[in-house]
């Protein structure tokens, strides 16, 4: 792609060239009119000068000698007067008439009598040349002075004047081009410095670019780049935090798995080996659940861009399907899953694909883990015009009120055996991504109630905030 410098220079030269042509044409037309008027005045002055000589109070003999002297001077071949503007010779012609009798004429003038031309200025063609003629009657006599000039000589003079007017511009155009090239380069120097700074920057250096000194336009670009660098820095921080959290949380389960494997290998009888393998299998299940929660938490990062598009889903139907998948776990612990909902209500809402299933799995799965055996986990759905509420009540130990705001943070546990401390973080982020609210309350009787209020039109509210 053409550089900004070349594009700007080409545009400036194009505008300058068009402007110079327009100005040159206007100057040429103006100069032509001025030179035409100047030459017309020159014709009138020459005619007046000749008239003054003829009217001089001289004796008849001296006046006759004066006329003969003028005739001798004017009849000299190729008699021309050099112009002061360009040094060319002007094709001037004189005729002096006494009624219809030619008294004298210049050798350069046309042979055709011009006495019949009207007094004043006129233009006619004689011998294939256009002539500008000025006729003056001598007062108090029958004499007539005719002064003429060839029009093509005037044209040559006008062309010479126009060329001399435009010649400095034509000669200065290369110098102007070099000056503009330097000026544009100087103006774009901050952009070049910024590009060089970005080009030489270490890939791991995500510090903001310096905004001073920079022109206002480049300051906007630098600000946008700094915002992008900040987002990349935050992504890297989250990535490092995720790796550190995963390594920290997996270190202990893996060590426990290794211990159970060693016990199984060292067991002296089948009963001890079976017990160790049973603990090993349980540890693998916990590690698998932890890895799944870590991946879900990474996917639900609140600053992830772009957010997935939402789709319409039936909350009641998805909840029923998820509870069916969780029923074997409940049966294993002799627990009962109870769903309370109005089958005739409108359960449609906008959701991210799989969000309701993940939400129910985390809420009910945590309740199954912490509620005692032979207890009941109640799932309640409530439909409102603008929202849908999902409530899960268990009969476990619950969470003290002073700890409820803290346990929503990742890896925060509410007591021994509380798991990895990820399930509430996952639930809280899912609820926020659906423009909802999460509440931790006391369940009726005992236990914990988790109430998630989800907006039906989450995509509309999200766009309104943006």
The phi and psi torsions of 149 (rounded to 5 degrees) equal -150, 140
* CA 254 – CA 259 distance, rounded (Å): 9
Amino acid 389: pLDDT: 93
Residues contacting residue 345 through CB under 8 Å, at least 6 positions apart: 316, 383
Amino acid 463: pLDDT: 54
Amino acid 391: pLDDT: 92
Contact (Cβ atoms closer than 8 angstroms) between residue 169 and residue 24: yes
Residues contacting residue 281 through CB under 8 Å, at least 6 positions apart: none
- What six digits make up the tokens of 255? 């060590």
**Domains in the chain: ranges and CATH:** 4-167 (3.30.450), 216-299 (1.10.287), 311-465 (3.30.565.10)
* CA 265 – CA 179 distance, rounded (Å): 86
What is the enclosing helix (H) or strand (E) of 232? helix 216-266
Strands (E), 138-248: 143-150
pLDDT < 50: residue spans in the chain: 77-89, 304-305, 411-420
Amino acid 399: pLDDT: 80
Amino acid 422: pLDDT: 62
* CA 383 – CA 315 distance, rounded (Å): 10
Contact (Cβ atoms closer than 8 angstroms) between residue 137 and residue 144: yes
Strands 376-383 and 336-340, sheet pairing: parallel
Amino acid 415: pLDDT: 44
Nearest CA among 344, 332, 316, 337 for reference residue 379:
337
Amino acid 83: pLDDT: 46
Amino acid 176: pLDDT: 82
Strands (E), 116-157: 120-126, 129-137, 143-150
Amino acid 337: pLDDT: 92
* CA 409 – CA 90 distance, rounded (Å): 102
Quick one: angle between helices 216-266 and 270-299, nearest 10?
170
Nearest CA among 435, 439, 344, 424 for reference residue 390:
439
Amino acid 88: pLDDT: 41
* CA 412 – CA 408 distance, rounded (Å): 7
């Amino acid at each position: 792609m053409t550089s900004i410098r070349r594009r700007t220079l080409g545009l400036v030269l194009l505008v300058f060239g068009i402007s110079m042509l327009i100005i040159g044409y206007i100057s040429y037309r103006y100069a032509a009119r001025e030179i035409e008027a100047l030459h017309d005045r020159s014709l009138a002055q020459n005619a007046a000068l000749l008239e003054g000589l003829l009217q001089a109070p001289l004796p008849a003999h001296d006046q006759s000698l004066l006329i003969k002297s003028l005739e001798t001077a004017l009849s000299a071949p190729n008699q021309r007067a050099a112009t002061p503007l360009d040094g060319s010779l002007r094709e001037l012609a004189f005729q002096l008439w006494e009624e219809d009798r030619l008294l004298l004429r210049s050798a350069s003038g046309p042979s055709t009598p011009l006495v019949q031309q009207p007094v004043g200025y006129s233009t006619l063609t004689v011998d294939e040349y256009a002539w500008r003629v000025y006729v003056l009657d001598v007062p108090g006599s029958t004499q007539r002075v005719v002064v003429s000039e060839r029009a093509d000589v005037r044209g040559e003079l006008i062309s010479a004047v126009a060329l001399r007017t435009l010649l400095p511009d034509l000669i200065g155009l290369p110098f102007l081009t070099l000056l503009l090239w330097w000026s544009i380069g100087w103006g774009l120097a901050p952009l070049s410095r910024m590009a060089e700074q970005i080009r030489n920057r270490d890939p791991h250096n995500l510090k903001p670019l310096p905004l001073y000194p920079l022109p206002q336009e480049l300051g906007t670009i630098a600000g946008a780049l700094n915002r992008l660098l900040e987002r990349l820095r935050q992504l890297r921080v989250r990535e490092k935090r995720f790796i550190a959290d995963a390594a920290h949380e997996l270190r202990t389960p893996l060590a426990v798995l290794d211990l159970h494997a060693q016990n199984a290998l060292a067991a002296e009888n089948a009963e001890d080996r079976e017990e160790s393998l049973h603990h090993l299998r349980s540890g693998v299940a916990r590690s698998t659940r932890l890895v799944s929660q870590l991946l879900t938490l990474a996917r639900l990062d609140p600053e992830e861009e772009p957010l997935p598009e939402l789709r319409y889903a039936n909350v009641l139907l998805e909840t029923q399907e998820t509870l069916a998948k969780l029923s074997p776990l409940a049966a294993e612990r002799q627990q009962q899953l109870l769903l309370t909902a109005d089958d005739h209500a409108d359960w449609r809402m906008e959701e991210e694909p799989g969000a309701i299933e993940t939400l129910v799995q985390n809420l009910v799965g945590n309740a199954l883990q912490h509620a005692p055996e032979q207890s009941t986990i109640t799932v309640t759905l409530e439909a409102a015009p603008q929202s849908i509420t999902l409530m899960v009540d268990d009969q476990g130990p619950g969470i003290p009120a002073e700890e409820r705001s803290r346990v929503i943070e990742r890896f925060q546990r509410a007591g021994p055996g509380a798991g990895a401390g990820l399930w509430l973080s996952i639930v809280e982020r899912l609820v926020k991504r659906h423009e909802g609210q999460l509440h931790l309350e006391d369940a009726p009787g005992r236990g914990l109630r988790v109430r998630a209020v989800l907006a039906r039109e989450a995509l509309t509210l999200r766009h309104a905030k943006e």
